[in-house]
């Protein structure tokens, strides 16, 4: 058996042509087909005894192959790309697109300050409105009609519902203190004969609400104190933490006393002062005397109001003796209570 190898051998003239084609390839488009006339030469190499060719002669034959074997048929997109030709780059870069050669010749004007005395008028093909022209009569009539017409108001359903008439003893529970005072004053103005009956019906002020508020203020003071056993509860840092609550306690005492004075409830005022005295005594007694100013001020306020209540009201002998015992217990807290004791003793001596 002999081995036959097929090689493509180009003649000398064809080699020169391929060199020219390689030079032309550098300037050709990316997808352009390389024209080439190819021949196929078959060479026979003897590798032993061969029956067909015993002499080992090399023979060749040139076969003309169809173009479809050498290169595929170009697609329509490739033909379009070939027809475009090679892109020519501009010498100077410009943002104007390449498709408009007329615009490419135009140059951007150089910025410069206009010369003095040169007025550039802006010309526009748009027709400008002449302000001197009067509008048509129809527009004037329509405008007058629109001005005379009232705006369209959408009627909304009223959300307010007529209140159900509840009994007065039930409706009065939702009123504030000022509203109750106003209602009662209006009734007394319309019916002055009811003043005596209402005075007999009016109860004494309930001091439980006052006491509850005082108790809340006192608890706030003790909650603000440090809870550690190693820290003192009466030194300056502890006082700094309790100062806002002490001020709140002081305001509460003053407001409640003022409320009873305005109501002229003198007996209730004295009872309130003696009741609140124990709450003021329960507040912390600070190490520094300056920090006890709020405590002393509360004692002084209560003593003065208590004396005023004793003077304004008429007391029986038993009531005065009971007050004398209570005021003697408060003498050690503040010196203002001495005035109450002197006044009570004087009244008792006059009654005897």
pLDDT tens digit sequence for 64-81: 555 555 556 778 888 888
Question: With contact defined as beta carbons under 8 Å apart, do 180 and 245 qualify?
Answer: no
Tell me the mean pLDDT in the region 192-216: 88
Examine the pLDDT at 341 and tell me if it is beyond 60: yes
Report pLDDT for 213. 94
> What is Dmax (Cα atoms) for the chain?
176
Query: Rounded to an integer, what distance in angstroms lies between the CA atom of residue 74 and that of residue 80?
Result: 10
* Token couple for 237: 């840092």
Higher pLDDT, 245 or 12: 245
CA 316 to chain centre: 67
Report pLDDT for 42. 47
Report pLDDT for 202. 84
The CA-based angle 184-186-187, given to 5 degrees, is: 65
Listed in sequence order, the residues at least 6 apart from 71 whose beta carbon sits closer than 8 Å to its beta carbon are: 33, 34
Neighbours of 340 (CB within 10 A): 28
The fraction of the chain above a pLDDT of 90, given in percent, is: 34
Q: Is 231 helix (H, G, I), strand (E, B) or coil?
A: coil
* Token couple for 309: 């209540």
CA atoms within 13 A on the CB side of 131: 0
Q: Is 16 helix (H, G, I), strand (E, B) or coil?
A: helix
Report pLDDT for 175. 86
Tell me the mean pLDDT in the region 264-274: 93
pLDDT band at 167 (very low <50, low <70, confident <90, very high): confident
Question: With contact defined as beta carbons under 8 Å apart, do 55 and 47 qualify?
Answer: no
Question: Strand pairing partners for 36?
Answer: none
Q: What is the pTM of this model?
A: 0.52
Q: Is 4 helix (H, G, I), strand (E, B) or coil?
A: strand
Lowest mean pLDDT among 167-176, 294-303, 340-349: 167-176
Higher pLDDT, 31 or 247: 247
């Amino acid at each position: 058996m002999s081995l036959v190898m097929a090689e493509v051998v180009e003649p000398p003239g064809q080699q020169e042509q391929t060199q020219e084609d390689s030079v032309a390839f550098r300037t050709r488009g990316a997808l352009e087909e390389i024209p080439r006339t190819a021949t196929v030469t078959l060479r026979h190499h003897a590798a032993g005894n061969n029956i067909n060719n015993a002499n080992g002669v090399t023979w060749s034959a040139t076969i003309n192959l169809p173009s479809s074997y050498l290169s595929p048929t170009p697609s329509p997109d490739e033909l379009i790309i070939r027809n475009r030709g090679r892109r020519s780059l501009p010498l100077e870069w410009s943002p104007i697109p390449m498709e408009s050669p007329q615009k490419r010749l135009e140059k951007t004007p150089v910025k410069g300050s206009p010369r003095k005395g040169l007025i550039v008028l802006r010309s526009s093909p748009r027709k400008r409105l002449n302000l001197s022209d009067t509008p048509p009569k129809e527009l004037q009539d329509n405008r007058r009609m629109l001005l005379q017409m009232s705006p369209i108001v959408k009627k909304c359903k009223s959300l307010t519902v007529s209140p159900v008439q509840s009994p007065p003893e039930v409706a009065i529970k939702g009123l504030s203190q000022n509203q109750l005072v106003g209602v009662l004053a209006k009734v007394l103005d319309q019916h002055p004969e009811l003043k005596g009956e209402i005075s007999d019906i009016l109860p004494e002020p309930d001091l439980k609400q006052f006491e509850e508020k005082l108790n809340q203020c006192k608890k706030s003071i003790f909650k603000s104190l440090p809870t550690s056993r190693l820290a003192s509860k009466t030194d300056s840092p502890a006082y700094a933490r309790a100062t806002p609550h002490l001020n709140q306690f002081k305001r509460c005492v003053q407001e409640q006393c003022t409320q009873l004075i305005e109501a002229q409830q003198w007996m209730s005022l004295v009872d309130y002062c003696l009741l609140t005295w124990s709450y003021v005594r329960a507040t912390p007694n600070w190490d520094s005397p300056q920090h006890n100013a709020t405590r002393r001020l509360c004692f002084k306020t209560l003593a003065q109001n208590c004396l005023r209540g004793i003077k304004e009201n008429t007391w029986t002998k038993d009531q005065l003796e009971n007050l004398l015992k209570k005021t003697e217990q408060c003498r050690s807290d503040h010196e203002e209570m001495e005035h109450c004791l002197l006044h009570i003793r004087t009244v008792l001596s006059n009654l005897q």
